Structure 1
Amino acid sequence: MIEINDRNHYIRRWKSLFNDAGMGSHPNLMKYVDNLFIDFKFFEEIVSKENLWQTLAVLIGIDSKLNIIYSLLNKADLFGLKENQILEIVEKDYLFYTKESFGFKLNEEPNFSFLFNVK
């Protein structure tokens, strides 16, 4: 498992993964991902004692979106997915990504954890 030390390390790692997956040939996805990185930086910088829980939910949501894009990017050619289709899936499914990653079905109630509080 790769340890994440700070935001810059997190973003560098994602950029490397996306580069290896051929993101360069998907300009709309690149722009979307770049905006996610900007949002991530913004929310990390404004986090405070008063907004920690709301900010954490947004950061988990951004991470979910990045994971879904990466997963679909690796399968886009296989399934014939276009950039706009990938973005539609991301916006529809990111709220449930963590829940499904833990093995819960959409109709199941997950364990009590802040990891399932996604915005």
Structure 2
Amino acid sequence: MMNKQEDPIDEIDYLKVNEIEPSAPLIDHTAYQQASLYRINCIFCKEAIHNNVNYLPCKCRLPIHFECVKNWKHLEMLCPICELTWGNKKNKTYWNLVCFMLLLIVIVVVIVIFYYLFPNEKKH
């Protein structure tokens, strides 16, 4: 059994360890960040985009390959930032409501036009 004096953990002076300032950061991401500024990666397949850059149809405008747009919409993926999805139930419900309101407007317009074209003849 080790003695308290022989324990190597006890030999560490914790105050001195905490006062040590490293000369360089342990993890340096600056080289990767600078390299990624000049490279545009597709949000869907994560590969570099060299030409035919498209952007997702949301406020985030994330880059996507021209070929990946169909796959993105087909798989009903969502934007990783604003979480807008394509073809999901929420968006379909919204568009169903919009179509219903447009249909009501058309019906009202047709009734008004019919009323003015064929006014009721009042009998005296």
Structure having the higher helix fraction is: 1
Superposed pair shares fold, TM > 0.5: no
State the structure with more CA Rg: 2
**TM-score, normalization by structure 1:** 0.21
**TM-score, normalization by structure 2:** 0.20
